[in-house]
Structure 1
C-alpha cells in the first residue's frame, strides 16, 4: 500500500529516498519460503519498499547484470527507480554522498541481501517523523551483524569489521535512515569515508559494509541516531543461499499483525500503566482503528471522561467519589489508548503530541478542582483544602518544569555536539576516542557499573519497578487519586500527592544533577 498524502507525515515531500546496495553476490540469491520461490533477494526487498512510503529507489550494482535488469523490468508499478554502476566501496560511498546532497527527503541505505519483515522495515522507513535511526536487535555480533551499543534509545557506538565497540549490547541489522536535518552531515561523512577507503585506511572493511560505515561515521560525528528495536520481528542480512532460505522460513514464524499491535504498546511505562491498563487496552486498538478514530479524537474523549470525573468528585458524597474514581480511571485508559493508536496507525503529528501533553495537565487540574469543590460542599473549612489543592498543582508544575528544562538542555547539548563533527581521521582508528579517553581518566569503571545496573534493571524485578514508581509517573498519580478519593476524601488525596510528589521531585532533581556532573 502506498503512502496516503492525506495522513500526517506521508506527503511526497517527506517520503524516503532508498539506496539499495546490490554490490554483493548474495543480492542475487533466490528466496523461497518452502511453499514458493519468487525471484532474488533484491527483487524481494524492492517489492517491500513499494509497500512503504518510499519516493524513489536507487539500486547500486557492480555492473548491469541480470539481477538488476530483472528488477528494473518488474518495478514499473513502484516508485521511480534508477540503477547506478559502481566499481567499488569508495564509489558506493560517493554515490551516497551525491544522493544526500541532492535530496530534499530522508535517505535510507540498505543492503540488497536483506531478509526482513515488511513491518520491521516500516518501524523506521514508515515512521511519519522520518527520524535518523537504525534497526537494531539483541544477539551476539557476527560478520553480517556488526556490534552496537545503545543507551536511552540511541546508538552511542557502532562498529564494522575494522571499528571496535566497547560494551556492545546489540547488533545493527542493515537498515539506516538519515533524516533531512542530517543529510549534509551524511554527505560529508560519506565523502570522508570514500577518501579513506580509496587510500586503504579502513583496514579489512569489505565492499558490503556501506551501511555499517555510515552508521559508525554518524555516531562518531555526534549525530543522534535512534535505536529502533526489532523485538519479535526479524531483519538481517543473508550471505549464503542456506542462510537466506533459513531466514525466510523464520519470517513465517512471526505474526506481523500481532507484532505491530505489540509494538504499539509502550514497553517502558510505569507499574500501574503496564499491569492495570496496557494489559487490556491493547484490545481496544484495532476496534478504534476500524472505527476510524484518530488519536486526537481519543484524546478529546479522554478529556470528556476527566470532566465527568471532576463533576462527580464535586458532589462530595461517597457515591460521587466512587463514580468519579471510575471515570478518572477510564479517562486514563483512553489517555494510553491515544498513544497506542498513534503508534499502531503511525499517525503522529506535532499537534497531537502537544495536545496530549496539554490535555494531561488540563485533566489532572480539573480533577483537583472537582475534589476540592466536593470537600467544601461537605461544609468543611475551605481554606485548608484549597491550599492543599493549589500546593499539589504547584508541585506538579515544578516537576514538569524540571523534566522539560532538562530535556531541553539535553537537546541543546545534542545539537551542539552535532555541530562539532569528529575529524575525518577519527574513522581511521578502530576504537571510539571518547570511551578510550574516559577509560584513561579512570571513569571506565563508572561506565561499567552503569552498564551492570542497566542490565539488572532490564530483568524487571522489584528494583526495576521501584525505580519506575518512585518518580510518580502519570499512571501512579491517577491510581493514587482514584483509590484515595474513593476510599477516603480529598484531603487524604492531596496530602498523598504532596508527600509522594516531594519525594519524586527530590529523587528526579538529584538524579539529573548527578547525571549532569557525570
Structure 2
C-alpha cells in the first residue's frame, strides 16, 4: 500500500513488513504502526509497505520493481525495526540524499545485527548469515538508503539476489535478511555507502514481544533533543576546536535555531569579526593586538557554530560548504594583511606573502588530491565495477606500510590528537595567530606559521603520496 508523507521531491521509503514481528504490540498500536507514524513526521515522498508475498525472492523483486520506477532516493527498512526518529533522520533528512546505511560502532554482531567494516565514514564490507566480514568494526542496524543515481544498481542486485535465493545458492537465508543482503550487494558492487553512525541513539530489530519491550525501553532512556545537539558538533574536529570552542558553542545551537538564524548569516557575522580583527591588528599597539586576538577567536567560534547550526537544522549543502571554505581563506589572509600593516617595514610583507603562499600550497595539495581521488572513483565506476561475487565471502584486506601504521595509531588517543594537531588545521592556526600576535608581534606570528606550516605541508605531502601509491 502507499501512503503520502510530507511533500518532498527526494526520498521514498519501502518498509518490508514481511516478518511476524511487525505486528507486535506497543503503546502506538503495532511496531509497524509506530514506524509509520515516525515516517509521517519526516520529509519523505511516500511510504510503500511490502507485505509477505512468497518468500525472500518475491520480496527482493518487489524492491527491484520499486527501485526501477522511483524518481528519487529510496530507503529500505524492515517493519520490525525499533529506533529513534532522530536515527531515521540521519539518512532520510540528510540533504545529500545519498546512498547510506545506519550503523552502530558496537561490534557485537548477531543474527539481526550483521557485521560491517567502516573505513573513512564509508561501509567497505558488509555481512549476512552467508557473507563473512574480516576485521568488522561495526554492525548494520537495518536502515538502508540508495541515492537516485544508484537505484539501477540496487534493482540489479535485488533481482540477482532473488534468483540466487530461489535456487538455494544463498543457503538457508530468510526474508528477515533482505535488507542485509541488499547492503552486501551494494558494497560489493563498488557503490560508495556512507556510514550513518547511531552514536547514543538506538536502533534494533526485534523478534518477540519481550525483545520489543526491551528495545522500546532503551529508546525511552535517551533524550533525543540532547542527542540532536550533540551530533551537530563534529566529533572528529581539531584539538583547539574541540576543547576550546565547541565546549561552549554547542549551547548556542538551539538559541540560534530558535531565532531562525541561517548558517550563512552566522558565517557573515564571522567574516565581519575577522575584518574588524584585521583593522585592530593594523593599529599595531599592544592593546589593539590583544583586542584583535579576541575578535579573531570569536570569529573562529562563529565559524564552528555555522557548521553546527547547519548540521542541527540539516540545511548544509555543497554550496554552503564551499562558501564557508572561501570565507575561511578570506578571513585568514585579511588578518595577515592587518598584521603586516600594523608591524610596518618592507621585510614583514615578505614573511606575510610567504605564509600566505604556503597556506595556498597546502590547500592545493589537499583539494587536488581530493579531486583526483573523486575522479579516479568516477572513472572506475564508469569503466568497470570492482570484481565481486554475491556467492563467495570477501577475503580479509589488511593495511600495510605507512597507511597501516596510520590506522593503528588511530586507536591511540594521544597519537590521534597528535596527527590532528601536526597538520595545523584552521583552529590551531587561529590560536597560533592570536597568541603570538597578542603576546609578541607579527614577525613571530609569521615565522611560527612558516615553521609549523612547513612541517604540516611535508606531513600532508607524504601522506597523500602514500595513499596514492596504495
Aligned with 2:48 (options 58, 78, 89): 58
- Residue equivalent to 2:389: 426
> Are the counterparts in 2 of residues 309 and 325 from structure 1 also a CA contact under 8 Å?
yes
- Post-superposition Cα deviations, 1:134-171, rounded to whole Å, max 9, x if no partner, equal 01002210000000000010000000110110100000
Structure 2 distance, partners of 1:416, 1:170, is 29
In the alignment, does 2:83 pair up with 1:116?
yes
In the alignment, does 2:227 pair up with 1:259?
yes
In the alignment, does 2:364 pair up with 1:397?
no
Aligned with 1:43 (options 12, 16, 33): 33
Aligned with 2:167 (options 184, 199, 206): 199
Structure 2 distance, partners of 1:204, 1:100, is 26
1:239 alignment partner, SS class: coil
> Are the counterparts in 2 of residues 149 and 158 from structure 1 also a CA contact under 8 Å?
yes
- Residue equivalent to 1:102: 69
User: What is the Cα deviation at residue 457 of structure 1?
Assistant: 2.6
> Are the counterparts in 1 of residues 5 and 47 from structure 2 also a CA contact under 8 Å?
no
Aligned with 1:505 (options 443, 457, 465): 457
1:127 alignment partner, SS class: coil
How many residues align? The count is: 465
- Post-superposition Cα deviations, 1:26-84, rounded to whole Å, max 9, x if no partner, equal 111112xxxxx22111111111011111111111111xxxxxxxxxxxxxxxxxxxxxx
Matches within 5 A, 1:262-281: 262-281=230-249
- Residue equivalent to 1:441: none
User: What is the Cα deviation at residue 414 of structure 1?
Assistant: 2.3
Judged with a 3 Å threshold, the aligned counterparts in structure 2 of structure 1 residues 242 and 455 are, in CA distance, closer, same or farther, namely farther
- Post-superposition Cα deviations, 1:112-143, rounded to whole Å, max 9, x if no partner, equal 00000001111111111111100100221000
In the alignment, does 2:378 pair up with 1:415?
yes
User: What is the Cα deviation at residue 350 of structure 1?
Assistant: 2.7
1:209 alignment partner, SS class: helix
Judged with a 3 Å threshold, the aligned counterparts in structure 2 of structure 1 residues 459 and 257 are, in CA distance, closer, same or farther, namely farther
Structure 2 distance, partners of 1:314, 1:38, is 64
- Residue equivalent to 2:12: 17
- Residue equivalent to 1:293: 261
Structure 2 distance, partners of 1:154, 1:407, is 15
- Residue equivalent to 1:446: 400
Matches within 5 A, 1:334-349: 334-349=302-317
- Residue equivalent to 1:125: 92
> Are the counterparts in 1 of residues 125 and 188 from structure 2 also a CA contact under 8 Å?
yes
Aligned with 1:171 (options 129, 139, 154): 139
In the alignment, does 2:418 pair up with 1:476?
no
Q: Is there any run of 5+ residues in structure 2 with no aligned partner, and where?
A: none
User: What is the Cα deviation at residue 88 of structure 1?
Assistant: 1.4
Structure 1 distance, partners of 2:208, 2:238, is 44
User: What is the Cα deviation at residue 91 of structure 1?
Assistant: 1.3
Structure 2 distance, partners of 1:242, 1:494, is 64
Q: Is there any run of 5+ residues in structure 1 with no aligned partner, and where?
A: 5-10, 32-36, 63-85, 439-443
2:157 alignment partner, SS class: helix
1:428 alignment partner, SS class: coil
- Residue equivalent to 2:440: 488
In the alignment, does 2:181 pair up with 1:227?
no
User: What is the Cα deviation at residue 293 of structure 1?
Assistant: 0.4
Structure 1 distance, partners of 2:405, 2:37, is 42
- Residue equivalent to 1:71: none
2:125 alignment partner, SS class: strand
> Are the counterparts in 2 of residues 116 and 251 from structure 1 also a CA contact under 8 Å?
yes
> Are the counterparts in 2 of residues 222 and 414 from structure 1 also a CA contact under 8 Å?
no
User: What's the TM-score once normalised by structure 1's chain length?
Assistant: 0.87
Matches within 5 A, 1:229-244: 229-244=197-212
Structure 2 distance, partners of 1:426, 1:349, is 35
User: What is the Cα deviation at residue 188 of structure 1?
Assistant: 1.3
- Residue equivalent to 2:330: 362
Structure 1 distance, partners of 2:329, 2:405, is 36
* Segment of structure 1 superposing worse, 409-418 or 194-203: 409-418
Judged with a 3 Å threshold, the aligned counterparts in structure 2 of structure 1 residues 48 and 455 are, in CA distance, closer, same or farther, namely farther
